[in-house]
């Protein structure tokens, strides 16, 4: 093997070793109800291979929950963290809304671009989001072996179609929720945090959407931010509904 050849196994190890996987830290959190200062477990990095318990809490939607030991007040306290799905080669970083561009530049600059190059060569998907619910959703999407770009496109189409026929108000937010017992994809709709409806997408519909996006060249690049705005840019050009 020459110096210019790459070993996929060692390359993947280099990527994983370049990601900090610390032990959980304890952070002081003040209860907004009684003022008691307690300790909250904080995971700045999660991995399906190394921290399965924390990943399970992420997917359940409880990772950022804290219960005051004094008065029982329930507190939601999100913080920046990195989720790494080794099995499906996907990473999702949760950061602040005004730091998305900075986070993208930081990824591009790791090891003078070597991290990004190796990630691309190995098929790693790297995403950025400032929304905890989106971090959870993408963890579920990748866990189920799906492409988040296809899912965002399908969700945008569903919201538009349901709003047009009056089934939804148009203000709902759609999230991928998992697979049902027929292996169809569940999309849940929420309005101001309240669940309003669900839709099921067949594997056939998913495959058709994937083929349409691929034929249109939309799957050639891996943008850091894949969300409803990304899907809206292509929704008018393609339709599989």
Across 143-222, where does the E strand assignment appear?
173-179, 185-191, 194-201
**pLDDT band at 166, cuts 50/70/90?**
confident
Residue 164: predicted pLDDT: 83
Q: Are strands 125-129 and 65-67 parallel, antiparallel or unpaired?
A: unpaired
> What value does the mean pLDDT take over residues 125-154?
97
List the chain domain ranges.
Answer: 8-143, 148-235
Q: Identify the band that residue 1 occupies on the pLDDT scale cut at 50, 70 and 90.
A: very low
| % of the chain with per-residue pLDDT over 70 | 88
* Measured distance CA(238)–CA(222) in Å, rounded: 19
Q: 177-199: per-residue pLDDT in tens? A: 999 999 999 999 998 888 888 99
pLDDT at residue 82 above 60? Answer: yes
Q: What confidence score (pLDDT) does residue 8 get?
A: 46
Q: Torsion angle, CA of 93/98/100/101, rounded to 10 degrees?
A: -160
**pLDDT tens column, 112-123:** 777 777 777 778
Taking CA atoms, 17 is separated from 44, 125, 141, 155, in Å, by 15, 17, 24, 35
pTM across the whole model = 0.88
Please say if the pLDDT value at position 47 is more than 50: yes
DSSP 37-82: EEEEEE-SEEETTT-HHHHHHHHHT-TTEEE-TTT--EEE----EE
Say if residue 12's pLDDT is above 70: no
């Amino acid at each position: 093997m020459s110096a210019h050849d790459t070993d996929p196994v060692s390359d993947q190890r280099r990527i994983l070793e370049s990601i900090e996987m610390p032990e959980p830290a304890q952070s002081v959190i003040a209860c907004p109800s009684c003022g008691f200062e307690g300790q909250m477990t904080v995971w700045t990095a999660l991995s399906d291979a190394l921290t399965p318990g924390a990943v399970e809490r992420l997917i359940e939607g409880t990772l950022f929950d804290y219960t005051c030991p004094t008065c029982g007040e329930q507190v939601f306290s999100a913080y920046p963290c990195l989720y790494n799905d080794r099995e499906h080669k996907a990473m999702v970083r949760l950061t602040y809304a005004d730091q998305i561009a900075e986070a993208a530049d930081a990824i591009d600059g790791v090891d003078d671009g070597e991290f990004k190059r190796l990630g691309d060569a190995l098929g790693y998907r790297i995403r950025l989001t400032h929304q905890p619910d989106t971090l959870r959703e993408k963890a579920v999407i990748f866990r189920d072996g799906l492409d988040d770009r296809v899912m965002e496109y399908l969700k945008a189409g569903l919201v538009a179609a349901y709003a047009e026929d009056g089934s939804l108000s148009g203000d709902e937010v759609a999230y991928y929720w998992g697979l049902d017992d027929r292996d169809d994809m569940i999309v849940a709709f929420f309005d101001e945090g309240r669940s309003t409806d669900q839709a099921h997408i067949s594997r056939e519909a998913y495959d058709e959407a994937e083929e349409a996006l691929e034929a249109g060249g939309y799957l050639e690049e891996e943008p850091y931010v894949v969300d409803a705005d990304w899907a809206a840019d292509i929704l008018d050009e393609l339709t599989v509904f």
